């Protein structure tokens, strides 16, 4: 029998993020506490978002609204890398970069965890920005998925290509 396998990845659903951003922008435009503050949230390139407001607390409030929308759309908040509030003339700005992919060192951490604590006979190999886990038994793969989910990594984890 051939080995069963799955991939551990950290992917970003750009459409869901775009929808959450649109919802947050509409809420900011219509909410009473944002009237007259010049608060906006918009894309700044492919993988960056910029929040602008007239005060630091309003910029932070827009960030909270955006996070709420992401959570409602089942997007992990670990994909966000938000900077501190910074002054730019009369405006307060927050830059958010979106993180995607597993770094080589993070993949090595997960691989070491699987080797040390996972079931015997499970192999993990790094393939670019993802990690392929294979084993003869599907039950072992499910145990590995449970093990990886229990860990608290600073990146979002998804499992794909379960065969």
Backbone angles phi, psi at 43, to 5 degrees: -65, 145
pLDDT score for 161: 87
3-state SS class at 15 = helix
Q: Residue 104 in contact with residue 123, Cβ under 8 Å? A: no
pLDDT in tens, 36-76: 889 999 999 889 999 999 999 999 999 999 999 999 999 99
- The last residue of one of the domains, among 98, 130, 152, is 98
Instruction: Name the average pLDDT for the chain.
Output: 91
Residue ending a domain, among 83, 98, 113, is 98
Taking the whole predicted model, whether its pTM rises above 0.75 is answered as yes
Instruction: Give me the sign of the Cα torsion angle 101, 105, 110, 111.
Output: positive
- Whether residue 55 is found in the same domain as residue 106: no
CA angle (32, 38, 39) in 5-degree steps = 75
Domain count, the chain: 2
Both 33 and 82 in a single domain?
yes
* 83 shares its domain with 110: no
Domain coverage including residue 108? 4-10+101-160
| Closest CA relative to residue 122, chosen from 148, 149, 141 | 141
CB-neighbour burial class of residue 155 (10 A; exposed 0-12, middle 13-18, buried 19+): middle
Rounded mean pLDDT, 126-155: 90
Q: Are residues 92 and 151 in the same domain?
A: no
Does residue 1 surpass a pLDDT of 70? no
Average pLDDT over residues 1-7: 82
What tens digit of pLDDT does each residue of 15-33 get? 999 999 999 999 999 999 9
Asked whether residue 91 falls in the same domain as residue 149, the answer is: no
Same domain, yes or no: 76 and 127: no
CATH number of the domain to which 107 belongs: 3.30.70.860
Residue 123 and residue 82 share a domain: no
What are the Cα distances from residue 6, in Å, to 2, 3, 116?
A: 13, 10, 19
Residues 72 and 129 in one domain: no
User: Is residue 40 located within the same domain as residue 105?
Assistant: no
Phi, psi (rounded to 5 degrees) for 124:
-130, 130
How far is the C-alpha of 70 from the C-alpha of 111, rounded, in Å?
29
The domain boundary residue, chosen from 54, 80, 98: 98
The model's pLDDT over 65-114, given as tens digits with 9 standing for 90+, comes to: 999 999 999 999 999 999 899 998 899 999 999 998 888 898 999 999 99
CATH number for the domain spanning 19: value is 3.30.70.990
Q: What is the DSSP string of 43-105?
A: E-SSSEEEEEESSHHHHHHHHHHHHHHHHHTT--GGGEEEPPPEEETTEEEEEEEE--S--HH
Residue pair 100/79 in contact (Cβ under 8 Å)? The answer is: yes
Is the domain of 110 the same as that of 88? no
Verify that 88 and 106 share a domain, yes or no: no
What's the CA gap between 57 and 110, in Å, rounded? 38
């Amino acid at each position: 029998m051939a080995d069963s396998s799955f991939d551990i990845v950290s992917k970003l659903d750009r459409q869901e993020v775009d929808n959450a951003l649109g919802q947050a922008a509409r809420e900011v435009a219509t909410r009473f506490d944002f009237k007259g503050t010049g608060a906006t949230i918009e894309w700044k390139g492919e993988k960056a978002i910029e929040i602008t407001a007239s005060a630091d607390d309003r910029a932070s409030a827009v960030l909270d609204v955006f996070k709420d929308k992401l959570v409602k759309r089942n997007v992990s908040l670990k994909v966000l890398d938000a900077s501190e509030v910074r002054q730019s003339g009369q405006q307060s700005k927050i830059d958010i970069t979106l993180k995607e992919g597993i770094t080589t060192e993070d993949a090595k951490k997960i691989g070491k965890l699987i080797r040390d604590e996972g079931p015997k006979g499970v192999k993990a190999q790094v393939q670019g920005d993802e990690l392929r886990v294979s084993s003869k038994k599907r039950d072992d793969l499910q145990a590995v998925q449970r093990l990886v989910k229990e860990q608290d990594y600073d990146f979002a984890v998804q499992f794909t290509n379960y065969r």
